[in-house]
Amino acid sequence: MKRYALLLLCLALAGAAHAGRSCEEKPSDADTVIKSMDLANKTLQALDASGAQVALLSRIGQDLSKYNLRYSHMALAWRDHPKGRWLVVHELNQCGTAESSLFNEGLGNFFMSDVFMYEALITIPDPETQQQLARILASNTPKRLHEAHYNMLAYPFSTKYQNSNQWILETLAAASNAPGKIETRAEAQSWLRSANYLPQTLDIPATTRLGGRMFRANIAFDDHPFDRRMGGKIDVVTVDSITRFVRQREPDVQEIVVR
């Protein structure tokens, strides 16, 4: 167990230990903790070996196979100074409510929160984008681009709600432009349209939408265009759509799967 000691210490010191977990309190058995820490350790090694300063880090938090999706949640992994500790910055929904916050925590915490499969995807943009992301993460721009009114299926081109992957995408938009050009969500979304970002379209029939809206505080559809919504076409920001967009703009992007 010695190889997990440092990661366990980081987990203890990271704060917000229950961020992003379901409302149901379930004790973590030893096997779950070991698997989570093992994945965190392998991810740490892969990040160190990559030489990156900032990377997009995705996990499988739930089974989305019926939508042909693998990864559910994306964060920014950031080494805040050379040879420093890797920090994970992301938006998390608070216990199934309609509210979210931004969190800055360790790798151990990231993989202790509702992991469905023990696998991660590291996406490494080009050095210029990494530098811009590092600059933004050290500023107040991430907070300005955060909307606390959370919706798991938020429409990508509306500022009414935001989901966790949408915050990543809008932060990427700011990093893809000159400093100060994008400081609001509306500006980020306008640029994403012009840059041909394409959201993921999920087929969700009316009966499913009604059940989701009635029984879950963190799901809404009223920000989606009426005709698309009535046709059961729900456009949303997913890990897949973000990685596809990054590949489109940066053909040499690196992708590392960690298991």
Q: Residue 7: is its pLDDT beyond 60?
A: no
pLDDT in tens, 95-146: 778 999 999 999 999 998 778 999 999 999 999 999 999 999 999 999 999 9
pTM: 0.89
CA 138 and chain centroid, separation: 18
pLDDT in tens, 35-63: 999 999 999 999 999 999 999 999 999 99
Q: Residue 20: is its pLDDT beyond 80?
A: no
Cα–Cα dist 88/196, whole Å? 28
Confidence tier at 31 by pLDDT (50, 70, 90): confident
* Helix and strand element counts for the chain (H, E): 10, 8
How many structural domains does the chain have?
1
Cα distances (Å, whole numbers) of residue 220 to 2, 22, 170, 205, 237: 45, 19, 20, 14, 14
Cα–Cα dist 252/246, whole Å? 10
Per DSSP, the residues of 159-183 read SS-B-HHHHHHHHHHHHTS-TTS--
What 3-state class would DSSP assign to 213? Answer: helix
Cα–Cα dist 77/58, whole Å? 10
What 3-state class would DSSP assign to 76? Answer: strand
**Residue range of the domain that includes 31:** 2-258
CA nearest neighbour of 256 among 126, 129, 121, 127? 121
Instruction: Report residue 188 as tokens.
Output: 């980020």
What is the identity of the amino acid at 43?
T
Average pLDDT of the residues in 162-170 = 98
Instruction: Report residue 190 as tokens.
Output: 């306008």
